[in-house]
Structure 1
Amino acid sequence: MGPSPEPDLRHHGDAEVRAADGAGDLTDLAVNVRTGTPPAWLKARIAASLDSLAAYPDGRAARRAVAERHGLPAGRVLLTSGAAEAFVLLARAVRAVRPVVVHPQFTEPEAALRDAGHDVGRVLLTERDGFRLDPGAVPEDADLVVVGNPTNPTSVLHPAATLARLARPGRTLVVDEAFMDAVPGEQESLAGRTDLPGLVVLRSLTKTWGLAGLRIGYVLAAPETVTALERAQPLWPVSSPALAAAEACSAPAALAEADAAAGQIAADRAHLLSRLAGFRQIRVAGPAAGPFVLVRLPGAAEVRAGLRARGFAVRRGDSFPGLGPDWLRLAVRDRATTDRFTAALAEVLVGADGPR
């Protein structure tokens, strides 16, 4: 038997939602953007920024707002065109001899590193260990380490103390916290830490606030790292509307709204997990802490196709290193959507192998 095919690192959840024939709308459980967003007040702030489009973007106010939100000086903040741009900047600007990516996780960091000419090592976490990270599994000589928290697609929230053990002089430790604001209280975040050498924290505003089409995120790091990344950016990389969104979403009222949304996501996730527990074929990776869950079931590709035929898009798991064809990622949605989805799932599974 030959080796397993190399995962498609460029496959992302948005591809699952596009109907191949353009016919009909799919209920989206493939993309981890919170439904019902952006809220009206945020749309209004973004719309108001359109009056300034004749001027070049000025990111100073947004940078100060993000810095204040995390209790950091502005020199430790870099605004980016989504967190994905930050991975490209890091791959280009950080001199690394042995970069390592902890998988399964968002594949863009590895893709960006490979595109920049790096030979990338992988640390593969396993279902047997609940996809939890053992710092000892990371090679001692790794000088660039990338890990997600909570991790996409496993939804595992690693303890901050565990991740802190990876930091050391001479190493850049990149912690992707794109989904941290979906965790109530942002437990286990390293965003405000300045005591860990080489720490780089990435944040995204696209998930909680529904701004995937606007592209806005940021980097939190030591000033010298911020300067190096900024030099790798083109001029005016973040648009005025995106800067307006960054400033608005860093305000205290917005943070309170995000935390309330995180609490609702936790309740909706519990409802999804209770429904999934009724299927004997399904194993859920966990405990889940993000706005999505990872599940394993036989014939996942056929199940995904059956769900698609019934109007539901879910994320395939085999494009994530360390997973295989039996994995699917499901976004957390409201209870009514979950009930409709699990009813469709029951139909698919009964058709596949008899009663559940």
Structure 2
Amino acid sequence: MPQHISPEPDLRHHGDAEVRGMGAELTDLAVNVRAGTPPRWLRERLAASMDTLAAYPDGRAARRAVALRHGLPEERVLLTAGAAEAFVLLARTIEAKRCVVVHPQFTEPEAALRNAGHEVERVLLRAEDGFRLDPRAVPGDADLVVIGNPTNPTSVLHPATSLARLARPGRTLVVDEAFMDAVPGEGESLASRTDLPGLVVLRSLTKTWGLAGLRVGYVLASPGRISRLERAQPLWPVSSPALVAAEACSAPPALAEAGHAAHRIAADRAHLEYRLAKFPSVTVCSPASGPFVLIRLPGATAVRSRLRGLGFAVRRGDTFPGLGPDYLRLAVRDRATTDRFAEALEQALGG
């Protein structure tokens, strides 16, 4: 059964807190942004956009590019200042009597709903089930359901068929696909679906393209929903450089590059899981599908502190509802970095 909200987890703690103020000697495994980004061609496009800063932002070209990327009409697209703004807009405009958030997952949706005055119930997925969703766990009368796919921090990719079962008339189904472009083929995405009532899909360009500081994402939903969200936005909510990034990263060459990166991430993740399997005390949440893995190990808090002393920042897991102090999240990095991390982890586990 869903559980009522609890003040214990710090819903506003995110991976950037693990590395804020860190020195150059710390290797970041806490933030799920692809290393080596943004690529040079994108930096050049952004630099060129500085010449347009005297003009107010015009989002038409970016909106058109995102719509074309997903095979949707433009009226089903809204550009936002990152997925975080989209969660706030939804929370402020939704009229729901029973809001359910499926956890463990990214905590900003629940935080935004609570800040907007909504009561929130949690459906907690279980480690024993591999944190996989059984659609029957969601209350039938819930008129707002929020879930991530692939889910942060568990890295679980839920089947599109399971998520589609959650859609029904009178319900808003919000699927956070911020990491879907890191999944080869994006086979379980609902982004292009227009047949599911109440579906809202959120996407972010932050993770794959290294644009956390630029703040750019978008919402895909029915034209009516998009209009309501747009009316709740301030004027010119997305900067000109962010709009340039949205247009550029939705073009076919960028999509091809993202596809290649997704395959590299999958291979690098497999290497990380291989190295972690050598530690009897470490349990990996598997199969993982995102650019990160969730692990469980006794004394994770102390291990995390030791890892920091050895030059590695990792993400604590106890701020995610449904997890506890024995969980850590690790961003996927290249094999050389993973090998260095495995050596540090061996030392950290040794105390």
Quickly name the TM-score band, shorter chain normalised. Answer: over 0.9
Which residue number corresponds to residue 281 of structure 1?
281
Which residue number corresponds to residue 354 of structure 1?
none
Listed as ranges, the gaps of 5+ residues in structure 2 are: 1-5
Deviations 1:277-298 (A, max 9, x none): 0000000011000000000000
Classify the secondary structure of the residue corresponding to 1:346: helix
Which residue number corresponds to residue 163 of structure 2?
163
Q: How far, CA to CA, are the matches of 2:237 and 2:14 in structure 1?
A: 23
Which residue number corresponds to residue 303 of structure 1?
303
Deviations 1:220-271 (A, max 9, x none): 0000000000011100000000000000000000000000000000000000
Q: How far, CA to CA, are the matches of 2:116 and 2:7 in structure 1?
A: 22
Which residue number corresponds to residue 8 of structure 1?
10
Q: How far, CA to CA, are the matches of 1:108 and 1:74 in structure 2?
A: 27
Which residue number corresponds to residue 238 of structure 2?
238
Q: Does 1:320 align with 2:342?
A: no
Deviations 1:174-202 (A, max 9, x none): 00000000000011000000000000000
Q: How far, CA to CA, are the matches of 1:345 and 1:52 in structure 2?
A: 48
Classify the secondary structure of the residue corresponding to 1:318: coil
Q: How far, CA to CA, are the matches of 1:237 and 1:121 in structure 2?
A: 30
Q: CA deviation at 1:350?
A: 1.5
Classify the secondary structure of the residue corresponding to 2:194: coil
Classify the secondary structure of the residue corresponding to 1:8: coil
Which residue number corresponds to residue 99 of structure 1?
99
Classify the secondary structure of the residue corresponding to 1:256: helix
Which residue number corresponds to residue 147 of structure 1?
147
Which residue number corresponds to residue 42 of structure 2?
42
Q: Does 1:132 align with 2:105?
A: no
Q: How far, CA to CA, are the matches of 2:52 and 2:209 in structure 1?
A: 22
Classify the secondary structure of the residue corresponding to 1:47: helix
Q: Does 1:53 align with 2:64?
A: no
Which residue number corresponds to residue 17 of structure 1?
19
Q: How far, CA to CA, are the matches of 2:261 and 2:24 in structure 1?
A: 29
Q: How far, CA to CA, are the matches of 1:76 and 1:332 in structure 2?
A: 33
Listed as ranges, the gaps of 5+ residues in structure 1 are: 352-356
Deviations 1:272-319 (A, max 9, x none): 000000000000011000000000000000000000001100000000
Classify the secondary structure of the residue corresponding to 1:168: coil
Q: How far, CA to CA, are the matches of 2:270 and 2:329 in structure 1?
A: 15
Q: How far, CA to CA, are the matches of 1:25 and 1:182 in structure 2?
A: 27
How many residue pairs match? The answer is: 346
Q: How far, CA to CA, are the matches of 2:258 and 2:24 in structure 1?
A: 32
The sequence identity of aligned pairs, in percent, is 79
Q: How far, CA to CA, are the matches of 1:183 and 1:338 in structure 2?
A: 20
- One-letter amino acid matched to 1:240: S
Q: TM-score, normalised by structure 2?
A: 0.97
Q: CA deviation at 1:5?
A: 6.9
Q: How far, CA to CA, are the matches of 2:147 and 2:34 in structure 1?
A: 22
Q: CA deviation at 1:25?
A: 3.4
Q: How far, CA to CA, are the matches of 1:23 and 1:153 in structure 2?
A: 25
Classify the secondary structure of the residue corresponding to 2:302: helix
Q: CA deviation at 1:94?
A: 1.1
Which residue number corresponds to residue 271 of structure 2?
271
Which residue number corresponds to residue 221 of structure 2?
221
Q: Does 1:343 align with 2:343?
A: yes
Which residue number corresponds to residue 120 of structure 2?
120
- One-letter amino acid matched to 2:36: G
Q: How far, CA to CA, are the matches of 1:181 and 1:25 in structure 2?
A: 30
Classify the secondary structure of the residue corresponding to 1:330: strand
Q: How far, CA to CA, are the matches of 2:180 and 2:73 in structure 1?
A: 21
Matches within 5 A, 1:63-78: 63-78=63-78
RMSD: 0.9
Q: How far, CA to CA, are the matches of 1:232 and 1:26 in structure 2?
A: 40
Which residue number corresponds to residue 3 of structure 2?
none
* Structure 1 residues 169 and 5: alpha-carbon distance in aligned structure 2, compared to 1, 3 A threshold: closer
